[in-house]
Amino acid sequence: MTDAPLVLRDRQDGVETWTLNRPRKLNSLDQAMVDALHGALDAVWDDQALRCVIVTGAGDRAFVAGADIAQLRERRHADALLAINATLFDRLARLPVPTIAAVNGFALGGGCELAMACDLRIAADNAKFGQPEVGLGIMAAAGGTYRLPALVGLGMARELLFTGRIIDAETAHAIGLVNRVVPAAELADTAMKLAQEIARADSMAVRMSKAALAQHTDGGPDLMAFESTAQAVLFESPEKFRRMDAFLARKARRAAEKAEKELS
């Protein structure tokens, strides 16, 4: 039996929806998911009929709950310097057409950075956002240190990045992280209506507007390189391994307790 694609693509009148399809793992960003998203970007990059892309997560528990911690634990300084997630998110940010993150459930770590790489963010009322990397002995190094302050201001970005705090959808809206909050049942329709409104505008004018706005967005190769270099140091830290081992142990314990309850 063939496994379902990790990124489900659906096209309606010039609007393409990408659904990250790893719901049992809360759509976490492992290498296969990263590769699948690169494939989706490759498929549409020069598509002149494309007007807008919506990015969302399968299921109602998570947009993207973050990186796959088991894989992340094994990454070392050389992996950090490859800027695996940062390179993907930079490509998404540079896609010529507007992108909308339709955030359902958790958008943590790399999931929050993925949402921030999109041009617009619509959150379900059950959404949660955060950059909790410092609790695992690493940092938000896929655009978190420049896209987050561009959206919420430097002071709030410092608070969120230094504490690793997770915030709810209403708080995210109040600080400017998301454009609007809607009931979870209305998320897909709201995102599609916004995408269709964009699609009705002149395509070249919208693309040129996005290109012009990109000139005011913090980022670029220098900041990507700084994040990656700092992360390379952290990837070798003993504290990273201690904290990630503790996280994985808690996860395994919760899974065992859940299985025991299901059997009793």
Mind telling me the catalytic residues?
Answer: 113, 133
CB 58 within 8 A of CB 27: yes
Q: What are phi and psi of 58, to 5 degrees?
A: -70, 145
Beta carbons of 182 and 172 less than 8 angstroms apart: no
Q: Is 108 exposed, middle or buried (0-12, 13-18, 19+ CB in 10 A)?
A: buried
Tokens of 44: 């549409």
Quickly list H helices, the chain: 31-44, 69-74, 77-81, 84-94, 110-117, 144-152, 154-163, 169-174, 187-200, 203-214, 221-235, 238-263
What pairs with residue 16 in β-bridges? 11, 53
Phi-psi region of 143 (alpha: psi -120 to 50; beta: other; left: phi over 0): left
| Pairing state between β 106-108 and 62-64 | parallel
How long is the chain?
264
